[in-house]
Each structure stands twice: as C-alpha cells, then as structure tokens.
Amino acid sequence: MTGWLGPQEWQAVALSLKVSFWATLLALPLGVLAAYALSRWTFPGRNLLNGLVHLPLILPPVVTGYLLLITFGPQAPAGQFLEWIGLPVAFRWTGAALAAAVMAFPLMVRAIRLSLDAVDPKLEEAASTLGASPIRVFITITLPLIAPGIVAGGILAFAKAMGEFGATITFVSNIPGETRTLPTAVYTFLQVPGGEGSAVRLVIISIIIAMAALLLSEWVSRRLADRVRGA
Amino acid sequence: MLTVSITHQLGDFSLDAAFEAPAGISVLFGRSGSGKTSIINSISGIIHPDRARITLGDRVLIDTSRAINIPIHRRRIGYIFQEGRLFPHMDVAQNLAYGARHARGAAVVPEARIVEMLGLGAMLKRRPRDLSGGEKQRVAIGRALLAAPDLLLADEPLAALDGPRKAEILPYFERLRDELAVPVLYVSHAVGEVARLATSVIAIEDGSVVRQGPAEEVLADASVTPTGIRAAGAVLRARVVAHHADGLTELVAGGIPLHLPRIEQALGTELRVRISAQDIILSRQQPEGLSALNILPGQVRNVRAGQGPGAMVTLDTAAGPLLVRITQRSAASLNIAEGVSCFAIVKSVSIAPEDIG
C-alpha cells in the first residue's frame, strides 16, 4: 500500500485513522452519558443540553473550529490547563482529535439515544425489584440492550471524524505530519500543480474507508440486535 | 406480616387504603382502575406515594412522616409483572441467575427446588422469545423467588394469558401458597382466581379498602361485590369422595354431598368450589321431583335489596355461607327474611370447571 501511496499521502491516511480512533474513543463515554441524560432524566436545562449537543451539526464547521480555538487555544484557560496536564491541543494532532470528536458527537448521541428510547424502562424496573442497584441495572440491562446503538453510533462517529475538515483546519491548521488529515491533504494537493494524482488516490481511500465503516456498522449492529431482540 | 397505609393523589383519582396482609396469598380484589396496581407499585417502591407507611415484618419500607424511603432494590420484594418482563438478552438460566445474583437475603428456597417446582428444567437454555406466554410467566415467578424476597407481589400475572395458559399457571401459584413460606400479595379482578388462590381477600373499590378477611368470609359477604353483582358467589371447601360410573364426581362439603361432572382429582383431595349467586334457586320447602342434584338446607342470615329489582340473600348452610341472587318480588312473596329456613337448589352443571381448584 505504501508503494502505491506516496509518503505524504500515507502519512495523512495514518494520521486520520489515529485522529478518528481517539476522537471516537473520547466521544463514546460522553455520548452514552449525554444520550442517557436526554432520554431518561428530566432536569432543568435539558433543552439547553440538547441544543448544545446538536450545535456542531448545524453550525458552520468554521464557526465550531473558531469556538474551539478561543476555548482551547494557547491563551485560553482551558487550553492552558490541558497543556499543564501534559496534553496540549493547539496545533497538535490531539486538537484534531478533539475537533473531530466535537463534530461527530451529535451523530453519535442521536444513534445511542434512538436505541435508548427503544429500551423498555419496565425491564430496568424489573431488574431493580430483583435487587440490582441503579448502576448494576445500567451495566447489566441497559448497556447490553443499547449495544447495537453504541456500535452504530461509534462507527458513524468514526466515519464523520475521518471526513472532518472545516473545524479541524480552523482549530489546528494544516501542518504536515501533525494536523494534515486525509481531507485537509486532499485539499492541499488540489492547491498545488500536479497534485491531482495524490488527491484522487486519497479520495479513493476515503470512499473505501467510509463504505467499509458503513457496512461494518450495519453488520455488527444487525448481529447485536438479533442477540437482544425483544421477547 | 405486611402492613400498608397509603394516601396518594393521581389526577382525579385518590387512593386512600390501609390493610394488613398475613401469610399465604392475599388477593387485592377489585375492578380495573380501582387502584390495585398503584397500591402494589407503592409497596415495591416503583411509585412514591404522597403519604404512606408500609412495614414488612420489622422493616419499615417507607414512612413519609419520618422521611424513610427504602429504594426499590433494597426492599427485598419480588414482583411478578403482568407481562413477565424477562430480559431478552439472557436465556432462561441467566434470567433466573439474575435474581439469585442480586439477592439481598439468604435464599428461602434452594434453586433446584424452584426449578423443579416450576418445571423449568427443560427450558434453561432457551431465550425468552422462544417461550410461550405461560412458560415466560413460570420463569418470571422463579426469577422473583430466587431473589430471596420477603414478600412476592403479583400484578394480574394471568391477565395476559388465554384460558388454557391460565389453567397451566394457576397450580404453580397454589404450590407457592401451600409449599413455600413466602407471603404473596396478588392483584386480580377475576373472581375465579380469587376463589381458587386467596387465603385472605382485600376488596378494593375506588381506591379504598371496603373489606378484608379470610377468602370464604369476604366472598360470602353480599355487601362486597367489587367486580359487580354478576360476579358474586360464595366459595365452599369440599373433599372428593367418589367418582361414580355415570360420569359424576361426588364431593362432600360440611357433610353435605355435592355432585358435579367428573373432575380429575384423586379421592380425598381437598378443593374449593365456587357457586355463583345467580346459579342458585331458593325454595321454602324441601323440593321434590326436581332434576337438580344439589340441594343444601340452610338459614337466611340476611337479605340485601339491590338498586334494581334484585336482592342478595346470604344463606348459612352446613357447607358454609352461600350467596343467592333472587328478585325482591320473590323475596317478598316467599317471606324470605332473616332467620327463615330455606333450601338452596344448585344445578350440578352450574359449578363451572374453571372455578374448581
């Protein structure tokens, strides 16, 4: 594969996979939590949370990227805190992962929330009458029953992260080997004379990865759904 | 002993109920919407009543005046739901193990005994979706028992089943009542179930308890007809004494013979027979030349006029009190009043098989 791809192209693909992997991993627990809160709890500010979660979906990605920059930039307190704990994000691949996670978050929450809404709360009630504490109920009943939704949401988020462009380039720029992910690399190659060949190869890889992710998610969630299919 | 006192407002409906449930099966008996399910949901902790004090043995489950409210999972109360509520991602063995794994008390009944009693041995590896409605309910009963509950709640556990399935599950509840020490609070609006299962009955109307006591007494009380006058009928305890060659089975209730179509029970079996109030005719004289086989002499305890043309007569017989529904006109023309001697004529076919058990 490295023979067919130039070193710069390969670098972009590998970086994108790394960024998307960590973005998905970061978003998953928070996504489950947000979906659970939105699906099961009534609390003041629920609508606000719902709006915040969905904001990256409807805002122009450039705006999201700019908001990330002023929140996590080197001058911002949150950015300085992350730098202090040894996890700087400004103009680093970690920042690209953060941007991708934020952009993928709404898709993930929606998928998980759909599956949560489909879980009958009466089953959770039954588990508590059998002596299971709320946290045990969540781990032994809710989580297995929403597994298809989590898998689907995770893969959807991964695919979205692979394609994230606007917020990433605004937040962490386009630094080769650090923040030049697959889409930014395609963009860059199209800007230089003679770069079309590289761009086309990356586009083909993009399509393959996206299709593979989609098929995988369909397959896994179908298998899981069959396992937990209603009584 | 379960002691319950609840007041709760749900929209227009107000619940104000207090009762005690002794050992055995206590049936909360009333029509749909009378507040039965709200009562047991309050006991299990699923709903939080406005004001309540509920104690089980020496444990206080909820006392709103002292701000005590034990969460559901620490109440040690098993709950058999109408729809079973088996976990779809687990097989039968795992569903049963779920109850045992989270049990908060010592097991009352060993698992092997429960599996044997409920006939679950052959289905342990099956998934809930591959079970019939009756089988699901048996698993649900076993799962609740394995959580080592101090009390078992059952919310119309037969309501979602068809006739034959009901008949399949009822004997398991009887074994529960007769063989295990776990008290059961059983919600029902079906008088046949009440007659067959109840040790004691708590009759509920419009959110309040109208009568509580031993099943025979409450069902024979003409003033208590929580599911309507048509469903009224007394319950007699009888023993099988003979299977006759002509297809009839002879029972004896308090020394009085009763004949009914052949029932498949061994000689000497003790069972309950329900006789519907509208299946009895009263006569002032010893009847002669009648085709009816079952004639019970007795004395009128009281006569209650209904709102329509009917009247409900309570007749004390050697077999136990009977409820008889006649018209007020008949009561007047026959001079049926307190203390009068009468004969109750019951057609043998009128003892419905589903009411025997």
Burial (CB count <10 Å: 0-12, 13-18, 19+), residue A142? buried
Instruction: Report pLDDT for A99.
Output: 96
Answer for the pair B146, B107: CB distance below 8 angstroms, yes or no: yes
Provide the β-strand partners of residue B327. Answer: B310
The C-alpha of A124 sits at a distance from chain B's nearest C-alpha, in angstroms, of 9
- pTM of the predicted protein model: 0.80
Report the alpha-carbon distance of residue B61 to residue B42 in Å, rounded: 10
Using the predicted structure, report yes or no on whether residue B161 has a pLDDT greater than 50: yes
The C-alpha of B144 sits at a distance from chain A's nearest C-alpha, in angstroms, of 6
Answer for the pair A137, A127: CB distance below 8 angstroms, yes or no: yes
Whether residue B89 and residue A123 make contact (CB cut-off 8 A), yes or no, is no
Instruction: Report pLDDT for B355.
Output: 59
Distances (CA, A) of B198 to A110, A117, A184, B177, B215: 49, 39, 75, 9, 6
Q: Which helix (H) or strand (E) holds B120?
A: none
The C-alpha of B5 sits at a distance from chain A's nearest C-alpha, in angstroms, of 21
Answer for the pair B55, B65: CB distance below 8 angstroms, yes or no: no
Q: What is the three-class DSSP state of B144? A: helix
Report the alpha-carbon distance of residue B293 to residue B193 in Å, rounded: 26
From chain A, which residues contact B within 8 Å (Cβ)?
120, 122-123, 125-134, 136-137, 140-141, 144-145, 227-231
Provide the 10 A C-beta neighbour count for residue B170.
Answer: 18
Provide the 10 A C-beta neighbour count for residue B205.
Answer: 17
Instruction: Report pLDDT for B350.
Output: 55
Instruction: Report pLDDT for A141.
Output: 95
Instruction: Report pLDDT for B31.
Output: 86
Chain A partners within 8 Å of B46 (Cβ): 125, 129
Structural domain boundaries in chain B: 2-231, 234-355
Provide the β-strand partners of residue B233. Answer: B276
Using the predicted structure, report yes or no on whether residue B114 has a pLDDT greater than 70: yes
The C-alpha of A231 sits at a distance from chain B's nearest C-alpha, in angstroms, of 4
Chain A partners within 8 Å of B83 (Cβ): 122
Burial (CB count <10 Å: 0-12, 13-18, 19+), residue A81? exposed
Provide the 10 A C-beta neighbour count for residue B120.
Answer: 22
Report the alpha-carbon distance of residue B126 to residue A230 in Å, rounded: 14
B283 has a chain A CB within 8 A of its CB? no
Give me the amino acid identity at B35: G
Question: Backbone phi, then psi, for B74, in 5-degree steps?
Answer: -110, 10
Chain B contact probe: residue of A123, A128, A130, A141 with most B CBs at under 10 A: A130
Residues of chain A predicted below pLDDT 70: 1-3, 229-231
What CATH topology corresponds to B2-231? Rossmann fold (3.40.50)
Chain A partners within 8 Å of B84 (Cβ): 231
How high is the mean pLDDT of chain B?
Answer: 87
- Location of structure tokens 């589903």: B354
Among positive and negative, which fits the CA dihedral A195, A196, A198, A199? positive
Tell me the mean pLDDT in the region B158-180.
82
Residue A119 tokens read as 């879980």
In percent, how much of chain B has pLDDT > 70? 95
Report the alpha-carbon distance of residue A74 to residue B332 in Å, rounded: 100
Q: What is the 3-state secondary structure (H, E, C) of B290-314?
A: CCCCEEEEEEEEEEEECCCCEEEEE
Whether residue A131 and residue B71 make contact (CB cut-off 8 A), yes or no, is no
Among B46, B84, B147, the residue with its CB nearest the CB of A131 is B147
Instruction: Report pLDDT for B353.
Output: 54
Whether residue B86 and residue A129 make contact (CB cut-off 8 A), yes or no, is no
Nearest to B195 by CA among B155, B237, B230: B237
Whether residue B89 and residue A132 make contact (CB cut-off 8 A), yes or no, is no
Using the predicted structure, report yes or no on whether residue B357 has a pLDDT greater than 60: no
Instruction: Report pLDDT for B140.
Output: 94
Window 1-60 of B, Cβ < 8 Å to A:
44-46
B292 has a chain A CB within 8 A of its CB? no
Q: Which helix (H) or strand (E) holds B350?
A: none
Tell me the mean pLDDT in the region B67-71.
94
Answer for the pair B354, B158: CB distance below 8 angstroms, yes or no: no
Among B71, B79, B127, the residue with its CB nearest the CB of A126 is B79
Report the alpha-carbon distance of residue A176 to residue A146 in Å, rounded: 39
The C-alpha of A123 sits at a distance from chain B's nearest C-alpha, in angstroms, of 6
- Using DSSP bridges, classify how beta strands B25-29 and B200-205 pair: parallel, antiparallel or unpaired: parallel
Q: What is the 3-state secondary structure (H, E, C) of chain A?
A: CCCCCCHHHHHHHHHHHHHHHHHHHHHHHHHHHHHHHHHHCCCCCHHHHHHHHHHHHHCCHHHHHHHHHHHHCCCCHHHHHHHHCCCCCCCCHHHHHHHHHHHHHHHHHHHHHHHHHHCCHHHHHHHHHCCCCHHHHHHHHHHHHHHHHHHHHHHHHHHHHHHCCHHHHHHHCCCCCCCCCHHHHHHHHHHCCCCHHHHHHHHHHHHHHHHHHHHHHHHHHHHHHHHCCCC
Instruction: Report pLDDT for A44.
Output: 92
Instruction: Report pLDDT for B128.
Output: 93
What CATH topology corresponds to B234-355? OB fold (Dihydrolipoamide Acetyltransferase, E2P) (2.40.50)
Q: Which residue does chain A place closest to B73, by CA atoms?
A: A131
Report the alpha-carbon distance of residue A100 to residue A49 in Å, rounded: 19
- Banded model confidence at residue B356, pLDDT cuts 50, 70, 90: low
Tell me the ipTM for this assembly: 0.82
Domains of chain A in sequence order:
7-230 (1.10.3720.10)
Using CA atoms of B91, B93, B96, B97 in order, give the dihedral in degrees to the nearest 10: -110
Whether residue A130 and residue B99 make contact (CB cut-off 8 A), yes or no, is yes
Answer for the pair B169, B196: CB distance below 8 angstroms, yes or no: no
Q: Which residue does chain A place closest to B130, by CA atoms?
A: A231
Instruction: Report pLDDT for A46.
Output: 92
Instruction: Report pLDDT for A231.
Output: 44
Among positive and negative, which fits the CA dihedral B54, B59, B64, B69? negative
Whether residue A227 and residue B89 make contact (CB cut-off 8 A), yes or no, is yes
Chain A partners within 8 Å of B56 (Cβ): none
Chain A partners within 8 Å of B44 (Cβ): 129
Q: Which residue does chain A place closest to B152, by CA atoms?
A: A129
B147 has a chain A CB within 8 A of its CB? yes
Question: Backbone phi, then psi, for B18, in 5-degree steps?
Answer: -140, 130
Using the predicted structure, report yes or no on whether residue B229 has a pLDDT greater than 90: no
